[in-house]
Amino acid sequence: MNSEHDTSEQSTLAGEYVLGTLQGDARDRFEDDLASDDALQQEVAAWERHLSPMLESVEPVAPPTRVWKAVEARIEARPSQRAGLWNSLAFWRNLSMVAATLALGLGLTLLGLLQAPGELERIMVVTNHQSQTGCIVDTRSRDSMLHVSAVQPTPLPASKVCQLWLVTEDGVLLPIGILPHQGSEKMKLPAALGNDSRFKVSIESALAAPVERPSEEIVFEGQLISI
C-alpha cells in the first residue's frame, strides 16, 4: 500500500517536473534522483508524451533562413566523428528493447529460419543503432557455416559497412564477413567455434572491406546462445 502511494507520489512529482512548476531546490533534488532512476525516467517520458499534444497543437511558423545557416555553421565546427559514439554500447544495445522486438521482428524472421533447411542450434541477435534487431546470426546442424540474416540493419552512409569478427580465446579478431543489408548470407567461420566464442561488429570503409584488422571502433559485441 505504502509503495503504491509512493509510486503515485513519484508520478505526480514527475508531472510537476515536466509541467515546470517543480522549481528551485526541489527541482535540483528531483534531477539528481532522475539521473540514476530508470523508473523515474520512464515517468518523466510518460508525462512528456501525455502532455506533448499541447505542443503539437501549436501553429507552425516558418523560421527565417538565417537560422539554418547559423545551425549549420555550428555543427560544421565540430569534428565529424566523436570517438565516444562508436564505443557507446548503450547506443547500440538495449536488452529490454531487444526483448520487446523479439516478439515482433525476430518472431517473423525466426518463422522463416525455422522453415529453412537444417535445425537451428545457436543464435545471436545483433542490435541496430536503435536497439532493435539489426540482424540475426545463427548456426545450424546441417553445416558448419554462420547464417546471417538482415532484419533492420543500422542505416549507414554508402561509404560504410558493418564487418563481423570472431574473437579468439587470445582476444585476436578474425574477420568473418560483411553484414548483409538485406536477405541472408552464409559465411565461413575462420576458426572452430568454442562454447562461448564471442563476436564483434565494426564499422569499416566500404571500399576497403573486408579488412584483416578492424580499422574503426567496435559497435557491437555478443555471443551465440543455444536454443
For another protein, give the closer residue by CB, 89 or 120: 89
* CA 113-148-103 angle, 5° bins: 50
Distance of CA 186 to CAs 34, 144, 149, 196, Å?
45, 10, 9, 21
Q: CB 11 → another protein: shortest distance, Å?
A: 6
Q: CB 117 → another protein: shortest distance, Å?
A: 34
For another protein, give the closer residue by CB, 145 or 156: 156
Q: How far apart are CA 201 and CA 181, in angstroms?
A: 14
For another protein, give the closer residue by CB, 11 or 168: 11
Q: CB 164 → another protein: shortest distance, Å?
A: 19
For another protein, give the closer residue by CB, 37 or 121: 37
Three cell numbers, residue 205? 570503409
Q: CB 48 → another protein: shortest distance, Å?
A: 5
For another protein, give the closer residue by CB, 157 or 171: 157
**In angstroms, how far apart are the furthest CA atoms of the chain?**
65
Instruction: Specify the pairing of strand 198-205 against strand 184-188.
Output: unpaired
* CA 27-11-51 angle, 5° bins: 85
Per-residue burial over 120-138, b if 16 or more Cβ lie within 10 Å, else e, is bebbbbbbbbebbbbbbbb
Q: CB 14 → another protein: shortest distance, Å?
A: 9
For another protein, give the closer residue by CB, 12 or 141: 12
Three cell numbers, residue 69? 545557416
Rg, Å, the chain Cα set = 23
Residues at the site binding another protein, with contacts judged by CB under 8 A: 8, 11-12, 15-16, 19-21, 23, 42, 45, 48-64, 66-68, 70-72, 74-76, 80-81, 85, 88, 91, 94, 97, 100, 129-132, 154-157
SS3 73: helix
Q: CB 130 → another protein: shortest distance, Å?
A: 5
CA-wise closest residue to 161 among 179, 148, 182, 183? 179
Q: How far apart are CA 85 and CA 78, in angstroms?
A: 14
